[in-house]
Amino acid sequence: MSELEPQSSGSRLALVELTGAEDMTAALRKLQDQWGPVAPVDLEPGVPGWLVLGHAEVMEVMRTESVFARDPRHWSERLPLNSSLHAILSPAGRRALYYADGAEHRRLRLPVDEAFASIDEALTAAMVRGVCGKLIDSFAARGDADLIGEYAAAVSFLAVSGMFGFDEQQGIALLRCAHGVFGHGGDAVAALTTMDQIVLDHVLATRQNPGPNLTAKFVAHPNFEDDTEIVHSMVVAICAANEMLVTWIAATLRRMLTDPRYTGRVTGVRRGLDDAMDETLWGEPPVANLPARYAVTDCTLGRAQIRAGDAIVMGLAAANNDPRVRTEDDMFEAGNRSHLSFGVGPHACPARRPGRLVVKIAVESLMERLDLRLTDPDVTWAPSPWSRYPAVLPVAFTPERQHARTPARV
Ligand code: HEM
């Protein structure tokens, strides 16, 4: 079989068409049948890249930073000025672990690992429960809510910004910026600049008055050379957390509201919420298409001929469903933890435990209080090339009387 070359734009599928497909698994299978484990795609229309679909090939990319680098300066593409990909893929001058390789990455990664390892899980759980409780209070008396805009998005952001010691108002301001950074408008770069300023103000205030939070750990760490590195690292952590948590919470809630078999497993004796959340990670990884690595040299991956400077996206949704690592037999699969939803290799998620804690408390808090029913079974997916989650999740429930409060929608 001949090696693959990138196709001209027009014949390539855009990632947003995949995440928005009615049946994404079928769309991925079709790509796999056509191209094998590595397919040419458009990151956005007209911007070419490769989507890695095979489990082994995704592992190879994520573990071989000498060939597949994180640093976007290896990317040969010159994005149009108004491209929504700038903030995530081509952020000029960002100095954080997310954009670094080798020794530079390890220097910037250590403070993040140490800060997350120092988290007091009991205190964090109490803070997250408080956030969830207040958000539920804000709509409990109404008897209806949108669990994405009024809950999942806000919980994710307020919980993580709370870990960094931001107050609720600062958390909401940051969340508005994050919508701009991840959104499809042309304001992603402006949103990132505003976010930097809010974070810098908080860093300066924390240096004067440190508290028991992640920002204080960052500020005190000798590995950071200056405040810019601290700010950029915090912004990366806050943004990385946000999209992942929203998607994981949304997917878990949606399954519980639509799939009685799944709900039975959560509430039944056979398996608990943790296992059900893992099932979500397998089937609907919070980041379906993980951006990105850049080829440092010409190489072959699967059947594809990659050129130095090409962008490579890791298809975690496809890889998790690779029949080489996962069967369709539930009993056989119990305890299989080889999904790639937290990544692997040097950039693998440093915040698995706090991430799981937030999602679990967010789902439990709702289940304990409200008898939720989905009011519209049709789903519209949020327009993202990277993640697949419902834009809205409208529910009804028996209203509570005592908790009416100003809505916290952001
Ligand atoms: C408290 C919540 C979270 C925080 C603060 C957080 C933070 C981060 C940070 C800072 C990185 C970059 C690591 C590096 O470049 O060395 C990262 C990577 C990653 N995170 Fe998380 N994360 C959170 C939750 C999650 C969740 C819930 C998931 C999915 C289940 C997830 C999946 C990933 C993946 C796949 C990567 C790898 C990125 C890559 O290799 O390019 N994260 N996370």
Tell me: pLDDT of 133 over 50: yes
Q: What is the mean pLDDT of residues 360-367?
A: 95
What is the distance in A from the centroid of ligand 1 to the CA of 355? Answer: 9
Where does residue 120 rank: exposed (0-12), middle (13-18), buried (19+ CB within 10 A)?
Answer: exposed
Structural domain includes residue 6: no
Alpha helices in 338-389 (DSSP H): 352-369
How far is CA 97 from each of CA 41, 57, 345, 349, 354, rounded to the nearest angstrom?
27, 23, 13, 11, 19
Confidence of residue 191 (pLDDT cuts 50, 70, 90): confident
**Alpha carbon 95 to its chain's center:** 20
d(CA 405, CA 410): 15
Structural domain includes residue 226: yes
Query: Minimal CA–CA distance to 211: which of 156, 164, 161?
Result: 164
Do the Cβ atoms of 127 and 165 come closer than 8 Å?
no
Structural domain includes residue 190: yes
Do the Cβ atoms of 232 and 94 come closer than 8 Å?
yes
Tell me: pLDDT of 140 over 80: yes
What is the distance in A from the centroid of ligand 1 to the CA of 112? Answer: 11
Where does residue 331 rank: exposed (0-12), middle (13-18), buried (19+ CB within 10 A)?
Answer: exposed
pLDDT value for 83: 83
d(CA 102, CA 100): 7
Structural domain includes residue 280: yes
The CATH number covering residue 181 comes to 1.10.630.10
Instruction: Give the domain range for residue 388.
Output: 13-396
Structural domain includes residue 223: yes
Structural domain includes residue 1: no
pLDDT value for 197: 96
| Count of structural domains within the chain | 1
Residues with CB under 6 A from ligand 1: 62, 97-98, 109, 112, 160, 236-237, 240-241, 244-245, 248, 281, 286-287, 290, 341-343, 347-351, 354-355, 358
Do the Cβ atoms of 382 and 146 come closer than 8 Å?
no
Do the Cβ atoms of 112 and 97 come closer than 8 Å?
yes
Tell me: pLDDT of 11 over 80: no
Q: What is the mean pLDDT of residues 110-138?
A: 96
pLDDT value for 259: 80
DSSP summary character for residue 72: G
Structural domain includes residue 401: no
Q: Max alpha carbon distance in the chain (Å)?
A: 68
The dihedral formed by the CA atoms of 236, 237, 242 and 248, expressed in degrees to the nearest 10: 120
Which tokens belong to 93?
């001058």
Question: Which range is least confidently modeled, 162-171, 187-196, 325-334?
Answer: 325-334
Q: Which residue do the tokens 């919470």 mark?
A: 249
d(CA 174, CA 408): 14
pLDDT tens digits, 152-164: 999 998 999 999 9
pLDDT tens digits, 166-184: 999 999 899 888 877 766 5
Structural domain includes residue 3: no
DSSP summary character for residue 152: I
Which tokens belong to 112?
């993040």
Q: Which residues pair with 41 in a beta bridge?
A: 13, 49
Report the half-sphere exposure of 375 (CA within 13 A, side-chain side): 12
Tell me: pLDDT of 240 over 90: no
Q: What is the mean pLDDT of residues 55-73?
A: 97
pLDDT value for 89: 82
pLDDT value for 373: 94
pLDDT value for 404: 47
Mutate to test the pocket of ligand 1, among 244, 344, 361 (most ligand atoms within 8 A of CB): 244
Which tokens belong to 291?
């951006």
pLDDT tens digits, 23-58: 999 999 999 999 999 999 999 999 999 999 999 999
pLDDT value for 4: 56
**Alpha carbon 129 to its chain's center:** 21
Do the Cβ atoms of 311 and 282 come closer than 8 Å?
no
In this structure, which residue's CA is closest to atom 39 in ligand 1? 347
Tell me: pLDDT of 268 over 70: no
Please report, rounded to a whole number, the percentage of residues in the chain having pLDDT higher than 90.
71
Do the Cβ atoms of 304 and 4 come closer than 8 Å?
yes
Tell me: pLDDT of 270 over 70: no
Confidence of residue 410 (pLDDT cuts 50, 70, 90): very low
Give the CA angle between residues 104, 108, 113 to the nearest 5°: 135
Average pLDDT, the chain: 89
d(CA 133, CA 168): 14
Q: What is the mean pLDDT of residues 299-316?
A: 97
**Relative to the CA of 109, which ligand 1 atom is closest?**
16
What is the distance in A from the centroid of ligand 1 to the CA of 351? Answer: 6
- Length of the chain, please? 410
Q: Which residue do the tokens 């989905």 mark?
A: 374
Tell me: pLDDT of 406 over 80: no
Q: Which residue do the tokens 């799944």 mark?
A: 262
